Amino acid sequence: MVGKLEAAGVGFESITEQIETSSVAGRLVFHVFAALAEFERRLIVECTHADLAAARAQGRKGGRPALAPEKVAAIRRWRPAIGRCRKYAKRSRSGAARFTNTRRG
């Protein structure tokens, strides 16, 4: 984003960090902060991957817990009814289904 602004001849000035990119010193500070932010992000990703690998090596499995069989059966029973509701729902100008725009008395 800052590169696009610079190409257009616009300088970037951060009020909270007192950084401005119109001077050489300001650009240096900006690039140092950007490099540190990228380093921190990659370090977090690397640590996360290492922690996940360690958990897998200990036999732990990540992700959401599986649904109980009775919940899966209930979802499968209701799924055809949901399809029928979508089929008959007319769209209004706002894009919301008609039955969401009306009041039931």
pLDDT in tens, 74-96: 888 877 665 555 555 555 445 55
Whether pTM exceeds 0.85: no
Six token digits for residue 27: 């650009």
Cα of first residue to Cα of last residue in the chain, in angstroms, is 52
The ranges assigned to domains in the chain are 1-63, 65-105
Report pLDDT for 97: 54
The first and second tokens of residue 23, run together, are 């001077």
| Position 48 pLDDT exceeds 70 | yes
* Residues forming a β-bridge with 19: 14
Reported as a single tens digit per residue, the pLDDT across 3-39 is 777 788 777 777 887 777 788 888 888 889 899 999 9
- pLDDT for residue 7: 80
Tell me, what's the pLDDT at 29? 86
Please state, in angstroms and rounded to a whole number, the distance separating the CA atoms of residues 19 and 95. Answer: 44
CA atoms within 13 A on the CB side of 32: 8
